[in-house]
Structure 1
Amino acid sequence: MSEPITFDAILAAAAATGEPTRLRLLALVSETELTVSELVTILGQSQPRISRHLKLLVEAGLVERHREGSWVFFRIAQTGPVGGFARDVIERLAPGDVHLTADCARLDQVRKTRATQAANYFAAQAANWDQLRALHVPEEKVEAAIRAAAGPDPIQTLLDLGTGTGRMLELLGPLAARAVGIDQSPQMLSVARARIERAGLRNVQLRQGDIYAAPVEADGYDLVIMHQVLHYLDDPLRAIREAARALRPGGRLLIVDFAPHEDETLRTAHAHRRLGFAAEEIAGFMASAGLDLTMKSDLVPGRGEANKLTVSLWLGRDPRVLADPLPVTTREFA
């Protein structure tokens, strides 16, 4: 049963949604988090007008707002009774409604522009990708923490979403009976294939695919890792939900990314969409994806590393229980 909403809260929410532009805005931010400038582009209205409408939606509790450096992101409220009201309203909109079709087409174009910019960046940087990791605390510290989080026990099935150059597969692949790496960039996958071949890892498969619709089976992986991936994405929650879909009962999701920072140059120079993630934000994403957060740790720069970024690790677990675990070969082909 839905959580009850107070009389005044329902009135405020109804008033906020009862205007054409605000309902269009609510529908758009239910798809992905968007900036004011992106919403201005999609709706073709002035920035002050869009900002006023967003302010009313935020005040009514229908939309969440968070600032990152010079950028401000908006998305439909994820929690609370009014958030549930907002999602119910959007779910009841008729698919293909004439008032929203053009907005959806322009949203798709915004997403394609983002994807093209990211793809161009990854293609240009594939050969020297590992050197770019010098932005944060030493890689050996990060990898030691990743190995510790993965644990010493053998892994039946491992999935690396956004595998890039395949370093995580090289690091954790020897622990797994089977490992799969997914990446959108052919150039990155070429580098990853060469790395995997050099390492002699015959249990690893590489596939080109969309992180939002990974070409992998559901309920099939003991450990899913997303290493330095989320800050490139326009919809981190959607990607985490896709990762959760791939987890078997009791499986674990390990996220490695930057803690919040203010280095705006990473947006333009390195195609970063987000400037890190706060602990409570990833915890909220995990909960929304149906996962229990079991571990959070920060790797803070030490002496002589003043200009380095802090790296955070989050470990989530699928709360379902697999009563009678099957061997990996049986699960794959049954």
Structure 2
Amino acid sequence: MTDEQTLSVDDTLAALRAVGEATRLRLVALLAESELTVKDATAILGQSQPRISRHLKLLAEADLIKRYPEGSWVYYRLADGPEGELVRGLVARISKDDPVLAADQERFQAIRKAKAEEAAAYFAARALTWDRERSLHVSEDDVEAAMRKALGETPFQTFLDLGTGTGRLLELFSDQYVSALGIDASHDMLAVARANLAKAGLVNAQVRHGDVYALNVPPRSFDVVAIHQVLHFLDDPARALSEAARALRPGGRLIVIDFAPHELEFLRENHAHRRLGFAQDQMERWLEALDLDLEQVTDLVPGDDSETNLTVTLWLARDRRVVTDLPAPNSSREVA
């Protein structure tokens, strides 16, 4: 273990002092499972916003948690370094039957469920016009062309589209895969997708109701997994990426398309976005933690005549469990 992976005695004592208080211990127990906003933590712990903010500030000063501003919101999550590992170890040793933490967990799950239902209601209300709405933010033709270029022309056996929506990607790549599956949480979306697949005469693709956080698919069973404009609707994008990685075959590829960081609050207020885009270093950390090698990053910058300044970013990563005679991938970053 290197020095970068360990803590000094003083740092260890500082970390233990920071977490050695009931409210802060409850906070890190929640953050060990998922990132939270101050609003979330206030609702779960039943304490005032100033009090919660003060405790989060003390935890951040001890390097136990990190804060990530997104527009008018700030997300908090456990640190990635040895401080974060120390806290995770402490939380893992707390009894799951503790009544205080169990009650926190119940309230946390209720908040998570409410947010999921809010997003599902949004999708249900907009299922018929979803493709048109999505094109308002960036040219979908350009995005699709970039996806085709990133994956190349080589055929592959199996394709999984998470958050398939209207099934557009199942149509887009129908000339390359042998079989495909689209998963979505909205029954209204799936009805549209099924109609679109039937209209296109695609018999080797199907759609299924499912949860991107808990995929009901065999592990290591897909050559390509796509997550197109889905992560910004999720409270826990890293968890969805983990499920996607679990579904990849050795050497399989994950293609993620989403917004670069922006400050368009109306997308959160009016369109159920939970995240205002994703930074490059954040995505790299998530993919690295899943043993995925980032092969390509492409930024699709809108033209001067665009109504918004949204940039769409494409990340292409490969499962590093590959045969030894394959050449190592070359990382690149493109701006289109």
| TM-score in terms of structure 1 length | 0.94
Aligned-residue offset at 1:308: 4.2
What per-residue deviation string (whole Å, max 9, x for no partner) do you get for residues 8-56 of structure 1?
A: 2111110111111001000111221111011100000011110010011
Amino acid at match of 2:54: R
* 1:3-82 equivalences in 2 (<5 Å): 3-77=5-79, 79-82=80-83
Contact (CA 8 Å) 1:165, 1:189: kept in 2 or not? Answer: yes
Residue 159 of structure 2 is matched in structure 1 by 158
Q: Measure, in 1, the Cα distance between the counterparts of 2:204 and 2:135.
A: 29
* 1:291 pairs with 2:292: yes
* 1:259 pairs with 2:260: yes
Residue 304 of structure 2 is matched in structure 1 by 303
Aligned-residue offset at 1:251: 0.6
Amino acid at match of 1:169: L
Aligned-residue offset at 1:95: 1.9
Moved beyond 4 Å, runs of 4+: none
Secondary structure of 1:231 counterpart: helix
Residue 332 of structure 1 is matched in structure 2 by none
* 1:1-334 equivalences in 2 (<5 Å): 3-77=5-79, 79-305=80-306, 307-322=308-323
Q: Measure, in 1, the Cα distance between the counterparts of 2:93 and 2:280.
A: 33
Q: Measure, in 2, the Cα distance between the counterparts of 1:92 and 1:254.
A: 37
Q: CA RMSD in A?
A: 1.4
Amino acid at match of 1:23: L
Aligned-residue offset at 1:304: 1.1
What per-residue deviation string (whole Å, max 9, x for no partner) do you get for residues 59-78 of structure 1?
A: 1111111001100001112x
Report the identity percentage.
56
Count of aligned pairs: 323
Contact (CA 8 Å) 1:135, 1:308: kept in 2 or not? Answer: no
Amino acid at match of 2:213: Y
Q: Measure, in 1, the Cα distance between the counterparts of 2:69 and 2:14.
A: 24
Mean Cα deviation higher: 292-301 or 82-91: 82-91
Secondary structure of 2:103 counterpart: helix
Structure 2 unaligned blocks of 5 or more: 326-336
Aligned-residue offset at 1:242: 0.5
Q: Measure, in 1, the Cα distance between the counterparts of 2:97 and 2:174.
A: 44
Structure 1 unaligned blocks of 5 or more: 325-334
Aligned-residue offset at 1:319: 0.5
In structure 2, relative to structure 1, the CA distance for the partners of 1:167 and 1:308 (3 Å cut) is farther
Aligned-residue offset at 1:245: 0.3
Secondary structure of 1:158 counterpart: strand
Amino acid at match of 1:61: D
What per-residue deviation string (whole Å, max 9, x for no partner) do you get for residues 169-213 of structure 1?
A: 110132101111110110000000011111111111211011000
Secondary structure of 1:125 counterpart: helix
Amino acid at match of 2:57: K
What per-residue deviation string (whole Å, max 9, x for no partner) do you get for residues 227-283 of structure 1?
A: 000000000000000000000111111000001111101111100000001111111
What per-residue deviation string (whole Å, max 9, x for no partner) do you get for residues 112-133 of structure 1?
A: 1101111110000000000111
Secondary structure of 2:315 counterpart: strand
Q: Measure, in 1, the Cα distance between the counterparts of 2:183 and 2:135.
A: 23
Secondary structure of 1:173 counterpart: coil
